[in-house]
């Protein structure tokens, strides 16, 4: 008999509504459990544990337990006694440790979420003294159990990580199926949801990068991995200038970066919409740097570097 069916039959029996056939079925089940163990699925064990604790917390639990015992036939009492022993242990734990929530394992994991707006950079200090510098229009999620068994955070956007070394607990950044794991180092992850390409750039130390469980590469300082989740292709390059994390101090550095990615970064920083009308320019690669210039000055430098003209209509910019 499935555990769900058994629960319904027991409920009907205790309510005095069980049929003769259901009583016989229940008797057969108890006889069988005396001979062989009952195996419950993980989901059933979690659900029963949760419901058990919820019942124990009820103020009239003792009265209801006595009522249930009185309704059980004598040959069922050996099984009920075992259950009451377990409930007694649970009550003892609840009384001795009232501050512990024993149903926490059954709850969805809670996350602290940090969000930045256009042009905004935020610094997040983790419980292990690691630091996260969050780029504009990005989101980082930190689980409530961070640091207990591992150190995992979820990223949507771009961030620079300065990780405190802990050889016993690796640090992991998840951007969708792209996973970067380290023990202690500094690196940048760029993975906006709307972008086809994601990058990981190392400043110090060594990091491993995997996608959907498949290891792509190990990176060392000034190496960058680019992964395109549409084509499932990736490549690694060496960055000549220390570009990773330069935006923390307001310096934007692009080295052989596709024009569309440069424009996407400028959109995040200046809260504008940039449209490249000439699609042939989308994948042109640009090497350029900015440090604190205004939007007008930035556009002027970029247009001179890439050789294009543009028009500005309030917050909309068109590159021709």
Rounded Cα distance between 235 and 217, Å, is 9
Q: What is the CATH number of domain 108-239?
A: 2.60.120.1440
Question: What's residue 284's pLDDT?
Answer: 87
Q: Confirm if 318 and 275 have CB atoms less than 8 A apart.
A: yes
- Domains in the chain: boundaries: 3-105, 108-239, 250-320
Rounded Cα distance between 175 and 195, Å, is 12
Computed on alpha carbons and rounded to an integer, the radius of gyration of the chain in Å comes to 30
Question: What's residue 50's pLDDT?
Answer: 56
Question: What's residue 73's pLDDT?
Answer: 53
Q: Confirm if 102 and 94 have CB atoms less than 8 A apart.
A: yes
Q: What is the CATH number of domain 250-320?
A: 3.55.50.30
Single out the residue of 127, 191, 128 nearest to residue 159, CA to CA.
Answer: 191
Strands 207-211 and 214-219, sheet pairing: antiparallel
* pTM of the predicted model as reported, rounded to 2 decimal places: 0.64
Question: What's residue 101's pLDDT?
Answer: 53
Question: What's residue 44's pLDDT?
Answer: 47
Phi, psi of 11 (to 5 degrees): -60, -45
Question: What's residue 227's pLDDT?
Answer: 95
Give pLDDT < 50 ranges for the chain: 36-44, 77, 82, 85-86, 89-90, 92-94
Question: What's residue 58's pLDDT?
Answer: 57
Does the CA dihedral 245-251-256-258 come out positive or negative? positive
């Amino acid at each position: 008999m499935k555990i769900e069916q058994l629960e319904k039959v027991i409920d009907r029996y205790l309510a005095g509504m069980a049929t003769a056939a259901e009583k016989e079925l229940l008797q057969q089940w108890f006889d069988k459990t005396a001979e062989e163990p009952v195996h419950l699925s993980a989901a059933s064990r979690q659900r029963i544990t949760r419901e058990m604790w919820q019942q124990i917390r009820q103020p009239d639990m003792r009265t209801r337990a006595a009522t249930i015992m009185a309704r059980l036939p004598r040959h069922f009492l050996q099984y009920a006694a075992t259950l009451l022993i377990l409930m007694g242990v649970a009550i003892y734990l609840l009384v001795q440790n009232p501050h512990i929530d024993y149903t926490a394992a059954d709850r969805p994991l809670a996350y602290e979420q940090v969000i930045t707006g256009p042009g905004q950079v935020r610094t997040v200090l983790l419980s292990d003294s690691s630091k996260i510098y969050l780029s504009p229009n990005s989101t980082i999620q930190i689980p409530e159990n961070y640091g207990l068994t591992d150190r995992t955070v979820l990223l949507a956007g771009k961030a620079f990580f300065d990780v405190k070394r802990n050889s016993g607990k690796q640090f992991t950044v998840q951007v969708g199926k792209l996973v970067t794991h380290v023990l202690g180092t500094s690196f940048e992850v760029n993975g906006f949801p709307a972008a086809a390409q994601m990058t990981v750039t190392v400043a110090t130390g060594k990091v491993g990068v995997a996608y959907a469980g498949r290891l792509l590469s190990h990176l060392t300082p000034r190496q960058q991995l680019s992964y395109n989740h549409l084509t499932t292709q990736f490549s690694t390059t060496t960055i000549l200038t220390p570009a990773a994390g330069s935006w923390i101090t307001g310096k934007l550095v692009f080295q052989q970066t596709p024009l569309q990615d440069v424009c996407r970064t400028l959109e995040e920083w200046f809260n504008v919409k940039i449209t490249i009308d000439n699609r042939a320019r989308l994948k042109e690669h640009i090497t350029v740097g900015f440090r604190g210039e205004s939007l007008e000055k930035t556009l002027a430098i970029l247009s001179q570097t890439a050789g294009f003209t543009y028009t500005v209509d309030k917050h909309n910019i068109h590159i021709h």
